[in-house]
Amino acid sequence: MDASGHELYFAHQRAVQTVHGIAIRYRLALIGPRVDVAHSELDPTLPEHSIQVRAGDAELLIRPGDWVGRRAELDAHVLAWLLEHVDLRAARPRPAARRYDEVWMRAWRDANPGRR
C-alpha cells in the first residue's frame, strides 16, 4: 500500500507502539532470551519508517507502510514471529510480577510442560 507522508508517519508511530507493547509484555512476564526493538527514529542505520525486532540470531524488519490500517494483523504477525524465535524453554516467569501476560504465560507453559 502506498501511504501518504502523514499516513506513513502515523502508521510508523502506531507500529512502534504495537511492537514495543508486545516486547514489554514479554519482559514483564518472563525472564528469558533477549528481545530487542529498534526503530528508524533512533537508529539511523535502519530504513526510514522501519522497525527492527531481534530475538537471538533472527531479525524481523517491519515497514509500517505495509501495515496501514492493519494494526491487529501487525500485532498477530509480530507475536507469532516472536513465539517462533524466542526459546521459551530458556525462560522462567518473572518473580513477584503483579500481573502476567496470559499469552506469554500460556506459550511458556506449552514450551515447558511440568514446570511452574
d(CA 45, CA 65): 18
Summarised one tens digit per residue, pLDDT across range 59-94 is: 999 999 899 889 999 999 999 999 999 999 999 999
Estimate the share of the chain in helix, then strand, then coil, as percent rounded to the nearest 5.
50, 15, 35
Summarised one tens digit per residue, pLDDT across range 6-30 is: 888 899 999 999 999 999 999 999 9
Q: Sketch the domain layout of the chain as residue ranges.
A: 5-111
